[in-house]
Amino acid sequence: MGVNHIAVTVKDIEATHHFYTEAMGFELVKVEINKTNGGFNRHVFYSTGSNVDGLIAFWDVSNVPGCENPRTDLNRDLGLEPMMNHFAFQADGPDDMERRKQRLLDYGRDVLEIDHGWIHSIYTEDPDGNVVEFAMLTRPFTDDDAKEAHELLRATSPPPAAAKPSIKFHKAGEGA
């Protein structure tokens, strides 16, 4: 079972549209218009690659009276660190990950790359300051992973991860 869609409100649907189609490579597939509070909103859907699930959607409330400037940064607006809440999308392997990283850099976005040992990820921010990630598992999960996960879920003094991640920062315009 996949995730059908995640939906969040954005400040500027045009900036969001350009980012998610041009930088992320997603395809606009559906827009629903809803009457709301004397105005209207748009519910805008993008395919992330699958034809049965894996959508991301955005609410454009700029035409709803009283909602012209919504708070949309899922972390900073809640007083959290920037990467706490984020959207992670599947990369199909090392070549796809490299292609997506270069696409983001070409679009002018800086990219943070982290190899956590079990998952390899690249991160950037969308126009609302929300972190988006492309990720790929580097190995299958084992029974030992599941056992450790259950232990750590309820541990009162859990140890930090033993492995130190490999971290690289790629600045747009300076090459990968």
The string of pLDDT tens digits covering residues 94-135 is 999 999 999 999 999 999 999 999 999 999 999 999 999 999
How high is the pLDDT of residue 51?
67
Domain boundaries in the chain?
A: 5-60, 86-170
5-60 and 86-170 have identical folds: yes
pLDDT over threshold 90, residue 25 = yes
CA distance 98 to 121: 10
> What CATH architecture does domain 5-60 belong to?
Roll (3.10)
At 110, list the tokens.
């800086």
Long-range contacts of 155-164 (CB under 8 A, 24+ apart): 161/116, 163/116, 163/117
Query: How confident is residue 1, by pLDDT bands cut at 50, 70 and 90?
Result: low
Query: How confident is residue 170, by pLDDT bands cut at 50, 70 and 90?
Result: very high
Q: Which residue has the higher pLDDT, 174 or 50?
A: 174
pTM of the model: 0.90
Q: Which residue has the higher pLDDT, 161 or 31?
A: 31
pLDDT over threshold 70, residue 162 = yes
Query: How confident is residue 175, by pLDDT bands cut at 50, 70 and 90?
Result: low
How high is the pLDDT of residue 171?
97
CATH hierarchy code of domain 86-170: 3.10.180.10
How high is the pLDDT of residue 68?
80
The string of pLDDT tens digits covering residues 45-101 is 999 987 677 899 999 999 999 998 899 999 999 999 989 999 999 999 999 999 999
How high is the pLDDT of residue 161?
83
The residues pairing with 120 across neighbouring beta strands, listed in sequence order, are 115, 136
